[in-house]
Structure 1
Amino acid sequence: MRITRYSKFEGELDQLDSAELMQMIQEALLGQGMNDPWDPDPDTRPSMDDLFDAILQALMDRGMIPEEMLEEAMNSDDIQESRLGQQIQRLMDKLQMDGFIRKEFEEDPQAAQGGQGQPGEAKFQLTDKSIDFLGYNSLRELMGGLGRSSAGNHDTRDYASGIDMTGELKNYEFGDTLNLDTTQTLSNVISKGFENMEESDLVIRQAEYSSSAATVVLLDCSHSMILYGEDRFTPAKQVALALAHLIRTSYPGDSLKFVLFHDSAEEVPLSKLAQAQIGPYHTNTAGGLRLAQQLLKRENKDMKQIVMITDGKPSALTLPDGRIYKNAYGLDPYVLGQTLREVASCRRSGIQINTFMLARDPELISFVRRVSEMTKGKAYFTTPTNIGQYVLMDYMSNKTKVVN
């Protein structure tokens, strides 16, 4: 394996390429969901100071900062005013100029009340370019773990289901699609004459049928996804970004949407996914399934599926009057019953639920298996380390089937 030793970097730090810098801070950008594990705030947005700290940490981890410059910065009253701080500021400006981030200001509430209207702390938003970059990097890392160098990409004018030849030959049987292999068929007929041709002389070339799919990824962002010192939410977001890039580049006829579920559930656009946060606390699986069904009913695709990534038991419900019913202890019979009603509704609509479970509680295992049986879906009991490989393998294996 080729190893790059960043400690041999020469020149000014602010000469770093923006793409290389984005790769260095990718984990920090996706890990913003792990804010305060005891009091998560879903509305928290990363600031420019957070970006400064992420770049500083990445440079330090790779030994790219000269010792004298680092010592000078650590001894300064304000590290951002030091030589090192100024170079990092220029790197941040370059990220903005190259279109990877967009700097924004949040209005200071106190200043606004006083009539001054002064901007508050500077925040940053990831752009479509950076989302695509993070998705590509995530896909490359996950596909590398599968032993693949890259995802296949077949350009087509028709953004829908299609048929690709596999190259395998077989004798024609009644009911087969007549993808005739003329060379082999003529070879069988020419010696005895066309007037003596029989059905058994026909040879066809088999093909793979690639179905069009509509997918909703249900991401659990309840408290447990960052509890107990383990960040499960960041790997889940990484998988979602990789899947989005895979579909955009290799399966352009497919559709993909994202739903976060916690006390309630809401759709989140791809552009906001990387900076999504954990919280609130509970797991409204029924609400997530209900919203996913609404989104899938608008799609006209061969296959409709829900990919649910979670680590917790259903513990919340949205009542008809809009109130949230919660019970964090065990599988509440009322919560479980309403959740299974939504699962049954998915089954009636022909929607498959594939669950990727990040926990191992016996009660939870039983619940997940029941969901899979009801919708003829699959259940994967995995970990944050390898969940991405399972999700990608499952998606690609569902895409094709051999047709004759």
Structure 2
Amino acid sequence: MAIGYRFTEYIPPQDDKPGFESLLKIFLQLVTISSGDVGEALNWLSSLDKQYNITSDEYGIGDFIEDLRKKGYLDEDKEKGTLQLTAKSEQGIRKSALEEIFGKLKKGGKGGHATPHTGTGDEASTDRREYRFGDALEQISMTDSLRNAQINHGIGDLRLTEQDLEVTETEHKTQAATVLMIDISHSMILYGEDRITPAKKVAMALAELIKQKYPKDTLDILVFGNDAWQIEVKDLPYLEVGPYHTNTVAGLELAMDILRKRKTPNKQIFMITDGKPTCLKEGVHYYKNSFGLDRKVVNKTLNLAAQCRRIKIPITTFMIASDPYLQAFVDEFTKVNNGQAYYSSLKGLGHLVFRDYKQNRKKNF
């Protein structure tokens, strides 16, 4: 049979302009940065179009806006006469954040979390052991068992006995309760660096990950500035930084209150911040000190870290700053809690949160 090459006429690639789906991805990014301001996001999109000519004569920005309405991504606020996001858009933003930060994830079954204990479960581990009465048939590792049979009996007398069997260990499942704390103090947008948008994206991606892959887990989100308060996942696209100091104590107290109500033994706190604690609330008044490390504020913060350790709530801190004295504080805070700390750039923040969520869900704290 002759082997050769078949040549066809070369067709150059078409210079296609973005259609609805491509423009939607850009729009969802812009509306996240604008904290849910649809008008501002569309103005930015129009500016990008003028500068880079991203649309075509056949499909322009006007067509895209009309499709956003028709497909249920935008609705009109009749009182204000402005466009606003719908629940479909909010979900689209979360999915976009998940894809951007964590990549494409395979759909899993109903979620659960591995403990250090082995037994009859539904997630295979890498460990092997001898067969025991009561082990399920599907746990038997045939490759390892046949290898044992060959070693024990030889090829000439190959037979498989109970003593040759090896089984794959499986892991029990447990649920996990996570509180994600997001710093919204003014420093999160200082020095020309937008730190709040990556933090929002991480929160939305983590929420979507849990919803898709670990639906039995719980994720509560709170923000902290001068005070701390809980927000819903749907509120994240609209989250903005305020003229606040950093009351880490209020955030930790609220996180602990939330986790006390959760029945699962696996509890954890993730804290995304870029600075030191600078504020306490004493009655109706605030004690504030932005200069250096105020021991009154720091000691109260460390006391709560120790309390979390006593009730087995580890705190993982993601510090978006590189100042040596801030790192020294986080090191002390982490040591008191026996938790973990990372000094992350904005680019690597999502990957670190994802990795630690995956790791921590396997622990029985």
- Shorter-chain TM-score category? 0.7 to 0.9
Deviations 1:51-100 (A, max 9, x none): 3303313433542246xx8xxxxxxxxxxxxx99xx63453343233222
SS in 2 for 1:351: coil
2:65 matched residue in structure 1:
92
CA change 1:212–1:60 in 2 (3 A) is: farther
Matches within 5 A, 1:3-402: 8-9=16-17, 16-17=19-20, 19-33=21-35, 46=37, 48-65=38-55, 88-105=61-78, 119-120=79-80, 122=82, 124=84, 126-144=85-103, 150-156=104-110, 163-166=122-125, 168-171=127-130, 181=140, 203-319=166-282, 321-400=283-362
CA change 1:208–1:61 in 2 (3 A) is: farther
TM-score (norm 2): 0.80
CA change 1:282–1:9 in 2 (3 A) is: same
CA change 1:259–1:401 in 2 (3 A) is: closer
Distance, in Å, in 2 between the alignment partners of 1:177 and 1:318 is 59
Contact 1:9-1:64 within 8 A present in 2 as well: yes
CA change 1:401–1:337 in 2 (3 A) is: closer
Contact 1:104-1:122 within 8 A present in 2 as well: yes
SS in 2 for 1:263: coil
CA RMSD of aligned residues (A): 3.3
CA change 1:333–1:123 in 2 (3 A) is: farther
Contact 1:213-1:302 within 8 A present in 2 as well: yes
SS in 1 for 2:325: helix
CA change 1:51–1:231 in 2 (3 A) is: closer
Deviations 1:94-142 (A, max 9, x none): 323322233325xxxxxxxxxxxxx446252x33322322222222222
Taking every aligned residue pair, what percent have the same amino acid on both sides? 32
Contact 1:24-1:58 within 8 A present in 2 as well: no
SS in 2 for 1:373: helix
Distance, in Å, in 2 between the alignment partners of 1:398 and 1:6 is 47
CA change 1:164–1:339 in 2 (3 A) is: same
Distance, in Å, in 1 between the alignment partners of 2:178 and 2:53 is 42
Distance, in Å, in 2 between the alignment partners of 1:128 and 1:363 is 43
Deviations 1:177-222 (A, max 9, x none): 956638677986x98xxxxx99x66633212444421111111111
- Residue 297 of structure 1: how far off its partner (Å): 1.3
Distance, in Å, in 1 between the alignment partners of 2:126 and 2:300 is 49
Distance, in Å, in 2 between the alignment partners of 1:377 and 1:253 is 24
Contact 1:6-1:64 within 8 A present in 2 as well: no
What amino acid is aligned across from residue 139 of structure 1 in structure 2? L
SS in 1 for 2:339: coil
Contact 2:34-2:41 within 8 A present in 1 as well: no
SS in 2 for 1:279: coil
Distance, in Å, in 2 between the alignment partners of 1:299 and 1:285 is 22
Distance, in Å, in 1 between the alignment partners of 2:363 and 2:275 is 34
Distance, in Å, in 1 between the alignment partners of 2:112 and 2:354 is 21
**Alignment length (residue pairs):** 333
1:73 matched residue in structure 2:
none
Unpaired runs of 5+ residues, structure 2, are 1-12, 115-120, 154-160
SS in 1 for 2:275: coil
Distance, in Å, in 2 between the alignment partners of 1:229 and 1:166 is 46
Contact 2:315-2:334 within 8 A present in 1 as well: yes
Distance, in Å, in 1 between the alignment partners of 2:228 and 2:24 is 30
1:77 matched residue in structure 2:
none
- Residue 395 of structure 1: how far off its partner (Å): 1.0
- Residue 260 of structure 1: how far off its partner (Å): 0.8
Distance, in Å, in 1 between the alignment partners of 2:166 and 2:267 is 34
